[in-house]
């Protein structure tokens, strides 16, 4: 992507060598060999196609963190060896994050919460306090709720900008003309533009640096939700033209092959300074008596009170470093081929409708593909894929209700749904939603083939499966098999695991 500038980590050798390393990395994730018993009694290796929700954990990073744990100590301890090692590693983790997104000294990286939701809530509060005279936020109609509702809660007014449509009428990127108009209309009060780098519904990529330039020209900031894109695209917060620099970028460790890791905020340091940190306690103060306290200006310390999730941060940093050294250019090119292959295969399935523009020349996208099969509820298709084919995908609205409703033709051009939608308890056969297939580094053409063949089969033989399913009567849109019972605790049970250890260690 020419617009998404290369990050700072040095590539580990020539491209061909890095491509070979990527092949070596592909099987190095937990959960690729996991087998389950299916509804027809077969045991099958699961095919994980739900990476947009969370991707699988990288074994390499895990092994590195396990070795680091030999030195584990709290980073707030100071002088013993373990504390010094952990503190140095934790600093290194921040530096790697900054390098991964090409940040210079004007930026800080703050590990926060569990993912992007916490990070955006935090920044919505910070930016509202920082610039109270600017109480308008512009976002788009393609956002995850996490990049919409926190702004609604903390800003005076939120404006939702519509999307472009391709020649087939399918939704693409944010409409830059409409965005320019919204920015102009609110220029004097606009605090920031909050935009996703890639949609979790269509996978479509927005030109975030161009949007930054438009926002900056009006004295506004830009906050980029990189939850979906961070593991799949090269993205730098610093652009060739400083007017295109990103002010805030947020990522989720669990979507970067490091579930169990925190979210990360990469932001311009000056946005935090001059405000009391959102959370205070240990580790952020220089002086405390019973009446007063003073907060350090040191970043990121002042924004990370309390003991951090050190193993999680180290796992994420090791993963980012590995991906950065292999090269996000190599990773992006690899995934682009798989995505194109999948789009071609899915498009050829009779009755399957893909959402969002799938003309890559009009709307570039990452490996997130949503669709419905004519006449079949998304909950039914998803359940059959799991129960009979061992294929894990996600359905419903993906925490992006305004966008999904609009794509389904239920919400109007402003993203507003009819009043009845607010209170209506849907029957599962008509609950709005879609099926989503999404890729990670471990996915191959064989996975796509398996999904395409399963979907073709379901589309052509729905009547064979339908008698085995009933809607779950809880308004969720889910379907349940009438006789096949999968019991999660048969597959794994914490007490059983611990009891097994106790038994094995009886003396």
Q: Among candidates 157, 143, 95, 145, which has minimal Cα distance to 117?
A: 145
Determine the Cα–Cα distance for residues 378 and 371; give it in Å rounded to an integer: 9
Q: According to CB under 6 A, which one of 5, 144, 302, 436 is a site residue for ligand PMP? A: 144
Part of the chain binding ligand PMP (CB under 6 A), chosen from 18-26, 33-41, 225-233, 350-358: 225-233
Q: Which of residues 362-401 bind ligand PMP (CB under 6 A)?
A: 399
Q: According to CB under 6 A, which one of 108, 147, 261, 370 is a site residue for ligand PMP? A: 147
144: Cβ contacts below 8 Å, ≥ 6 apart? 116, 196, 200, 225, 227, 398, 399, 400
Structure tokens given for 403: 């966008």
Q: Which of residues 89-128 bind ligand PMP (CB under 6 A)?
A: 115-117
How many residues touch ligand PMP under the rule CB under 6 A: the total is: 14
200 forms part of the interface with ligand PMP (CB under 6 A): yes
Q: According to CB under 6 A, which one of 193, 194, 227, 342 is a site residue for ligand PMP? A: 227
Q: Which residue, 197 or 326, has its beta carbon nearer to ligand PMP?
A: 197
Q: Which of residues 462-491 bind ligand PMP (CB under 6 A)?
A: none
Determine the Cα–Cα distance for residues 92 and 146; give it in Å rounded to an integer: 29
Q: Which residue, 403 or 465, has its beta carbon nearer to ligand PMP?
A: 403
Q: Which residue, 115 or 327, has its beta carbon nearer to ligand PMP?
A: 115
Residue pair 295/42 in contact by the 8 Å Cβ criterion:
no
Closest distance between ligand PMP and the C-beta of residue 145, in Å?
A: 8
385: Cβ contacts below 8 Å, ≥ 6 apart? 391, 392, 393, 435, 451, 454, 455, 458
Part of the chain binding ligand PMP (CB under 6 A), chosen from 82-90, 222-230, 276-284, 315-323: 222-230
Q: Which residue, 65 or 116, has its beta carbon nearer to ligand PMP?
A: 116
228 forms part of the interface with ligand PMP (CB under 6 A): yes
Closest distance between ligand PMP and the C-beta of residue 19, in Å?
A: 28
Q: Which residue, 202 or 236, has its beta carbon nearer to ligand PMP?
A: 202
Closest distance between ligand PMP and the C-beta of residue 231, in Å?
A: 11
Longest CA–CA span in the chain (Å) reads 76
Q: Among candidates 48, 61, 10, which has minimal Cα distance to 253?
A: 61
Closest distance between ligand PMP and the C-beta of residue 404, in Å?
A: 13
Q: Among candidates 182, 89, 84, 186, which has minimal Cα distance to 135?
A: 186
Cis amide linkage into residue 300, ω under 30° from 0: yes
Q: Which residue, 140 or 228, has its beta carbon nearer to ligand PMP?
A: 228
Nearest residue to the partner ligand PMP, using Cβ: 115
Closest distance between ligand PMP and the C-beta of residue 68, in Å?
A: 24
Q: Which residue, 75 or 252, has its beta carbon nearer to ligand PMP?
A: 252
Residue pair 417/76 in contact by the 8 Å Cβ criterion:
no
Part of the chain binding ligand PMP (CB under 6 A), chosen from 139-147, 177-185, 280-288, 449-457: 139-147
Residue pair 355/459 in contact by the 8 Å Cβ criterion:
no
Quick one: 37 exposed, middle or buried, by C-beta within 10 A (0-12, 13-18, 19+)? middle
Q: Which residue, 130 or 232, has its beta carbon nearer to ligand PMP?
A: 232
Part of the chain binding ligand PMP (CB under 6 A), chosen from 3-11, 43-51, 140-148, 451-459: 140-148
Determine the Cα–Cα distance for residues 52 and 39; give it in Å rounded to an integer: 26
394: Cβ contacts below 8 Å, ≥ 6 apart? 50, 52, 53, 382, 435, 436, 438
Closest distance between ligand PMP and the C-beta of residue 101, in Å?
A: 16
The phi-psi region of residue 31 (left if phi > 0; otherwise alpha if psi is between -120 and 50; otherwise beta) is left
Q: Which residue, 228 or 319, has its beta carbon nearer to ligand PMP?
A: 228
Quick one: 506 exposed, middle or buried, by C-beta within 10 A (0-12, 13-18, 19+)? exposed
Q: Which residues bind ligand PMP (CB under 6 A)?
A: 115-117, 144, 146-147, 196, 200, 225, 227-228, 252, 254, 399
């Amino acid at each position: 992507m020419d617009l998404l500038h290369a990050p700072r980590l040095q590539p580990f050798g020539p491209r061909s060598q890095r491509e070979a390393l990527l092949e070596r990395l592909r099987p190095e994730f937990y959960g690729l060999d996991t087998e389950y018993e299916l509804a027809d009694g077969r045991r099958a290796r699961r095919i994980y196609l739900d990476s947009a929700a969370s991707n699988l954990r990288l074994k390499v990073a895990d092994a590195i963190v396990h070795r680091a744990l030999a030195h584990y100590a709290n980073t707030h301890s100071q002088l013993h060896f373990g504390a010094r090692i952990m503190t140095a590693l934790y600093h290194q983790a921040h530096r790697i994050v900054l390098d991964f997104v090409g940040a210079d000294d004007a930026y800080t990286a703050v590990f926060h919460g569990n993912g992007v939701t916490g990070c955006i809530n935090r920044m919505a509060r910070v930016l509202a306090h920082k610039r109270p005279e600017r109480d308008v936020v512009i976002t788009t109609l393609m956002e995850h709720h996490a990049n919409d509702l926190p702004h609604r809660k903390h800003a005076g007014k939120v404006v939702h900008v519509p999307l472009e449509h391709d020649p087939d009428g399918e939704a693409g990127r944010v409409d830059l003309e409409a965005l320019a108009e919204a920015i102009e209309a609110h220029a004097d009060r606009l605090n920031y533009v909050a935009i996703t780098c890639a949609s979790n519904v269509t996978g479509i990529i927005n030109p975030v640096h161009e949007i930054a330039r438009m926002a900056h020209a009006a004295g506004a900031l830009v906050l980029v939700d990189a939850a979906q894109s961070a593991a799949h695209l090269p993205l730098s917060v610093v652009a060739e033209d400083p007017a295109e620099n990103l002010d805030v970028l947020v990522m989720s460790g669990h979507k970067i092959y490091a579930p169990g890791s925190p979210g990360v905020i990469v932001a311009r340091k000056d946005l935090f300074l001059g405000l009391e940190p959102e959370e205070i306690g240990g580790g952020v103060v220089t002086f405390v008596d019973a009446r007063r306290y003073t907060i350090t200006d040191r970043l990121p310390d002042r924004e990370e009170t309390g003991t951090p999730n050190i193993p999680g941060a180290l796992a994420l940093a090791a993963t980012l470093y590995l991906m950065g050294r292999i090269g996000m250019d190599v990773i992006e090119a690899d995934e682009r081929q798989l995505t194109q292959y999948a789009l071609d295969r899915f498009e050829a399935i009779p009755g399957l409708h893909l959402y969002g523009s799938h003309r890559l020349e009009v709307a570039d996208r990452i490996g997130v593909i949503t669709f419905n099969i004519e006449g079949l509820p998304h909950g039914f298709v998803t359940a059959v894929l799991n129960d009979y084919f061992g294929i894990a995908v996600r359905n419903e609205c993906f925490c992006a209700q305004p966008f999904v409703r609009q794509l389904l033709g239920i919400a109007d051009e402003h993203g507003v749904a009819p009043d009845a939608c607010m209170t209506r308890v849907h029957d599962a056969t008509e609950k709005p939603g879609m099926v989503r297939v999404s890729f990670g580094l471990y996915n191959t053409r064989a996975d796509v083939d398996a999904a395409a063949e399963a979907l073709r089969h379901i589309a052509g033989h729905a009547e064979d499966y339908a008698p085995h399913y009933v809607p779950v009567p809880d308004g969720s849109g889910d379907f349940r098999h009438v006789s096949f019972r999968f019991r999660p605790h048969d597959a794994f049970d914490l007490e059983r695991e611990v009891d097994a250890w106790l038994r094995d260690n009886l003396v």
